[in-house]
Chains A and B, each alone.
Chain A
Amino acid sequence: MRKTGPVVFGFLVGMLMLIQYFTPNPWIQARYNNVLDWKQVVFGITLMLGVLSLVLFHWRKIEQRQKGWGYSVITIAGLIFMIAAAVWRGQNAGPYLWMFDHVQSPMQSTMFALLAFYVASASYRAFRARGFHAALLLTAGVIVMLGRVPLGEMLGFHAGERYYSLATISDWVLNYPNVAAKRGVLIGVQLGIVATAIKIILGIERTYLGKGA
């Protein structure tokens, strides 16, 4: 029952979600809306589960004085502070909003900003013309990198009434080869998703129960 129950439940709900797409029947649409509402409830519970896991993980680290337990103290203190701040003065003002604007936002932006440096070092290392495909990647990368900034738009020439620049070539690369490739990958990935969904509905795929392939 422990393994069969979830599979049967998955089949019933999966079939409901599949059928509802093709039928305007009010009863089925109402059940569909019920599922969507419950989905949000379950999602909220998983958020709570996440917080609980976080607290348990770091509490264990502090209790056992594992390596880096000091950071766990800061984590739990931060969690308690933000909850207390939100309860005391709400989320739209006071210390909660101040911490979001002056601590969390700059920290998250900084982490993302690291990508600029990593892109530079990764590009420098990876874009070497060792063979035909590598040279093609390099050429496309350089054209799009320059074509997507004002500098690339300035590097061009007039031919009659029209102006051609690196931006023109970059736009062509993005609108034609890029679209074709992306469409191909998109179709393949979406078919894979549909196949996996059918396998889950039919109970062939049971990884979510904790059993490996």
Chain B
Amino acid sequence: MRARPDTRGRAGRRPFYDLLMNVDRRVIFLVIAAAVALPLVFPLHLPVQISPEARAYFDEIERLQPGDQIILSFDYEPDTMAELDPMSYATLRHAFRKRLSVIALTTYAGGPGIALRVLGETAAEFGQQYGTDYVFLGYNPDYSATILRMGESIQATFPTDHFGTPADSLALLQGIDRYADIELLVSISASALTEYWIIWAGGNYGQRIIAGNSAIQAVLIYPYYDSRQLSGFLGGLKGAAEYEKLIEHEGAGLRGMDAQSMAHLLIVCFIVLGNVGLVMQKLRARGDAAGRAGSAG
């Protein structure tokens, strides 16, 4: 089923098109590594255009007033933090700059470490106080029960914050107990968690939601944005770069655009190479067939 045809020519040498169609994996890996690494050292500063989805994400936070509550859910673990951390940092910078009240939580066991780091750094940058300007409710097992239960009572779902402080003693959570009390929910996710927030929190309780997703996941989010079940979203590192440009703070998103551009360009070049080889192979086969037909006639 996987036998490769013997493409050696009369002289026993591999035809050129065979080389084009069968570049060694390791060569591809080395070229991609160089394409990603070099622009990080020698930046190109390629310009970034803003997409409507990223603009909508920005506008949703921008329309809020100081003191409005938002929930920020860190729905990812260290494996995807390279793509999603820039979104988290930018969102918190935007929120803290507008003096919004941030209720952070995570639905992943590996999320607290990330949340503590991002919250700690951005809160220190803006002089935000824990308990009054932001809180971290921590990790709750079973995301489905968590999302659904929060619709009935946030404090029953998280009786204490991540540090063990009773939720009802935190100044920020006074009078805040349901989605109806929250202006906006932000899900930063590389998985279907965003869809679950939309279906359960948005569909059941009418919660307004925006999301930051990895590039793979973002492709699935378009239908929800199109039907306005999602008010805005960021797609991949490019989305993070667009958002950083909007809040006028260069971060890892903008810095990564050159490397991503070069990597994509090289992948396309390899694809073109493979197809050039395919065309050459077909032309060669056609020529051989014509030659055999001619000699037979």
Contact = CB atoms under 8 A, between A and B. Distances in A.
- Whether the complex brings A and B within 8 Å at their CB atoms is answered yes
Interface of A: 29, 33, 36-37, 39-40, 42-44, 47, 91-92, 97, 100-101, 104-106, 108-109, 111-113, 116-117, 119-121, 123-125, 127-130, 138, 141-142, 145-146, 148-154, 167, 171, 174-175, 178-179, 182-183, 186
B271 A124 contact: yes
Nearest to A190: B199
A175 B260 contact: no
B221 to A, nearest CB: 9
5 contacts: A116-B36, A123-B270, A123-B271, A171-B51, A178-B222
Contact of A150 (B28, B117, B261): B261
Interface in B198-255: 215, 219-220, 222-223, 226, 235-236, 238
Interface in B139-166: 140-142, 144-146, 148-149, 152, 156, 162-163
A19 to B, nearest CB: 15
Given A91-B112, A138-B271, A186-B223, A149 B261 contact: yes
A29 B152 contact: yes
A151 B79 contact: no
B150 to A, nearest CB: 10
Interface of B: 21, 23, 25, 28-29, 32-33, 36, 46-49, 51, 77-82, 110, 112-114, 116-117, 140-142, 144-146, 148-149, 152, 156, 162-163, 215, 219-220, 222-223, 226, 235-236, 238, 257-258, 260-268, 270-271, 273-275, 278
Question: DSSP majority for the A interface?
Answer: helix
A127 B272 CA distance: 9
